[in-house]
Amino acid sequence: MVYVCCMTIHEARLQLTAALYEVYAHSEAETIAAMVLEKITGWQKPDRVFNKKVPLNIQQAALLQEYTDALLQSRPVQYVLQEAWFYKWPFYVNESVLIPRPETAELVEWIYKEHFNKPATVLDIGTGSGCISICLKKLWNAATITAIDISEEALNVARKNATFLDAELTFKQIDFLAAGNWNLLPGFDIIVSNPPYIPLADKNKMQQNVLAHEPHLALFVYNEDALLFYRNIANFCNEHLNSHGAVYVETHEVYANEVADLFTATGFKEVTIKRDMQGKARMVKACQLY
């Protein structure tokens, strides 16, 4: 237990960091401690340094203890703080949704840069926290966006984020893998998805804190078919992607070429693989040219 009564901001940072060293690498512990202190105090680093001798109040001290206890059980800091920054905005997150990853922001940027100068209808398949669709709407107000997910709990999180960030979207609970549900949706100019693609057999290769806390429904494909969602997305696009439309998907670098080949085999005439900032092939775009 970390002793917090009458602790100054500086002392809180030192003691929290020292406690986190037991669970995390030093650089990660220091980053997490900074996130916690910013959440508790409302001050960014320069203000915390300037006010380092200011003591925590009773409520702040209680939050620090609560957050420390959860972090020492390897619960991801984003779930502990119920907040994850994505692109330019803070998103509410809980264990019903995946924690947004930085590389997904590159997918958002790719779509926005290619389409921002004209109105379009957009479908986000498997929206989770809503990070993709909400950011697109914030950046590109001329877009009309529908976001779907099989999980009502995830949609509740996405709706909360849309309300907080003042983004007008349509949310629908749909099991996308049930092709009979596709007739519930119209045609779209842009379709985007960051779907599950990890075979259940690879479960033991993943970090324990991910397995213990992030929703398996959003991570794994249970029939060992890593391309299951991409195949369904490609087939859906043949019926619901408007003329000259485009589909953008995020994938694991291991599967990027297979996903691209799948879209080509399904009839798409222009398929592009894009690398992320780390040089990994993580995104695929496919266009209809008719």
| CA end-to-end span of the chain | 64
- Rounded to whole angstroms, the Cα distance separating 137 from 132 reads 9
Residue 286 CA to residue 264 CA, distance in Å, equals 8
CA 267 to chain centre: 29
**Cross-strand bridge partners of residue 176:** none
Last residue of a domain, one of 73, 103, 127: 73
What is the tally of structural domains in the chain? Answer: 2
The radius of gyration of the chain's CA atoms, rounded to the nearest angstrom, is 21
Flag whether 3 is in a domain: no
51-56: average pLDDT: 93
Same domain, 68 and 146: no
Model confidence at 207: pLDDT above 90? no
- 166 and 219 in a single domain? The answer is yes
- Distance separating alpha carbons of residues 95 and 129, to the nearest angstrom: 10
Instruction: Kindly state whether residues 246 and 158 are assigned to the same domain.
Output: yes
Residues 283 and 177 in one domain: yes
Q: What is the pTM of this model?
A: 0.90
Residue 196 confidence (pLDDT) = 86
For residue 67, the enclosing domain spans 9-73
Is residue 196 a contact partner of residue 217, using CB atoms and an 8 Å limit?
yes
Q: What is the pLDDT of residues 103-143, one digit of tens each?
A: 999 999 999 999 999 999 999 999 999 999 999 999 999 99
Would you say residue 88 lies in a domain? no
Which residues have CB under 8 Å from 97's CB, separation 6+?
128, 129, 154, 157, 158, 215, 218
What are the two backbone dihedrals, phi and then psi, of residue 93, each rounded to the nearest 5 degrees? -135, 150
**At 289, is the pLDDT very low, low, confident or very high (cuts 50, 70, 90)?**
low
| Residues in CB range of 27: below 8 A, 6 or more apart | none
Q: Of residues 215 and 122, which shows the higher confidence score?
A: 122
